């Protein structure tokens, strides 16, 4: 019986050693987690990203990712980038300025890749091209960027909002007669016809509109007013880009002076609409939900 206190003492010492060991292991694990977190934050701080288009800049802002370079634009860019350096027009960025920023990545869009890739390669600039030609492309790219820059939850939340909007639109047009639509894409001095493969064409399709130009692999075609008049669309959408006010004036002059337009059903019924550039860009952008709502009103008023 006298030996019991000794065994009790040994048991207490062993228990104390075990608890101390667990505490040390837990402390070590916590230290490892903190070290990993610190390394991730340091890696993110080392990122020096340049976005050369407005659409990409807005996506990066929504994902709370810092930029050292942004495009030069008359459009209002996110305040997050007030201290970022402007690097010029998206179609012809200032390569010397970009080089001076020592970027780890320069982001453009796939529609400009053909024009820019050789210049970036010659300057030894690591460039990536975000695919924004359709609504689905944009969603996929947001998820990819979120994954690459540790913003997965934010990216998934943005994409889910878009999915909810699409579901809402589908319910709104269910059972309705879908109008035929002609989309004109204007730039200063000229205009093209947008096919269903263009970004705005994709938005029109998602709101139930039937593009009068279908079965084409390209995004835009040259305009042939005689052929377009034969298609006799219910609605004409005019998208102005580059210098919107000047392009709208060009469209107004064309529709007034070219007599063929007065024979279009859409013109006779006053169903010609000018699309606001910030919501209806040549590529996908975060204003897509508002653009879909506007199209819904235009197509089914």
Q: What pLDDT score was predicted for residue 180? A: 97
Q: Which is nearest to 285 in space by CA: 84, 134, 66, 182?
A: 134
Average pLDDT over residues 234-258: 93
Average pLDDT over residues 66-85: 96
Q: Give 47-61 pLDDT, tens digit per residue.
A: 999 999 999 999 999
Average pLDDT over residues 261-285: 94
Average pLDDT over residues 105-121: 95
Q: Is the pLDDT of residue 25 over 50?
A: no
73 C-beta neighbours (distance < 10 Å), count: 14
Q: What pLDDT score was predicted for residue 20? A: 47
Q: What pLDDT score was predicted for residue 243? A: 85
Which DSSP letter does residue 208 get? Answer: T
Q: Is the pLDDT of residue 27 over 80?
A: no
In this prediction, residue 43 has a pLDDT band, given cuts at 50, 70 and 90, of very low
E strands in the chain: 49-51, 69-70, 85-86, 105-109, 127-130, 180-187, 190-194, 210-211, 220-222, 235-240, 272-275
Domains, the chain: 49-159 (3.40.50.1980), 177-299 (3.40.50.1980)
Tell me the pTM: 0.82
- The chain-wide mean pLDDT, for the chain, equals 87
Q: Give 86-101 pLDDT, tens digit per residue.
A: 999 999 999 999 999 9
């Amino acid at each position: 019986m006298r030996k019991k206190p000794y065994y009790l003492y040994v048991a207490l010492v062993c228990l104390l050693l075990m608890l101390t060991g667990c505490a040390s292991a837990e402390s070590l694990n916590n230290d490892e987690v903190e070290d990993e977190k610190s390394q991730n934050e340091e890696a993110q701080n080392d990122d020096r990203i340049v976005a050369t288009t407005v659409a990409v800049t807005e996506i990066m802002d929504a994902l709370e990712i810092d930029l050292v370079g942004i495009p030069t634009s008359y459009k209002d860019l996110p305040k997050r980038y007030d201290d970022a350096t402007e690097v010029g027009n998206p179609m012809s960025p200032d390569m010397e300025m970009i080089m001076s920023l020592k970027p780890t990545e320069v982001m453009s869009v796939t529609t400009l890749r053909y024009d820019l890739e050789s210049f970036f390669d010659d300057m030894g600039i690591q460039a990536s091209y975000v695919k924004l030609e359709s609504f689905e492309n944009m969603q996929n790219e947001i998820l990819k960027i979120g994954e690459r820059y540790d913003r997965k939850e934010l990216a998934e939340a943005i994409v889910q909002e878009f999915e909810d909007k699409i579901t809402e639109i589908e319910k709104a047009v269910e059972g309705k007669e879908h109008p035929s639509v002609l989309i004109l894409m204007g730039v200063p001095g000229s205009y093209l016809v947008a096919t269903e493969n263009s970004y705005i064409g994709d938005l029109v399709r998602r709101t139930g509109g039937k593009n009068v130009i279908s079965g084409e692999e390209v995004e835009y075609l040259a305009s042939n007013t005689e052929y377009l008049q034969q298609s006799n669309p219910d609605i004409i959408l005019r998208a102005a880009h580059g210098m919107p006010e000047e392009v709208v004036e060009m469209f107004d002059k064309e529709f007034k002076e070219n007599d063929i337009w007065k024979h279009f059903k859409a013109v006779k019924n006053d169903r010609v609409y000018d699309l606001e550039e910030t919501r209806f860009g040549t590529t996908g952008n975060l204003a897509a939900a508002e653009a879909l709502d506007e199209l819904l009103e235009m197509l089914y008023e």
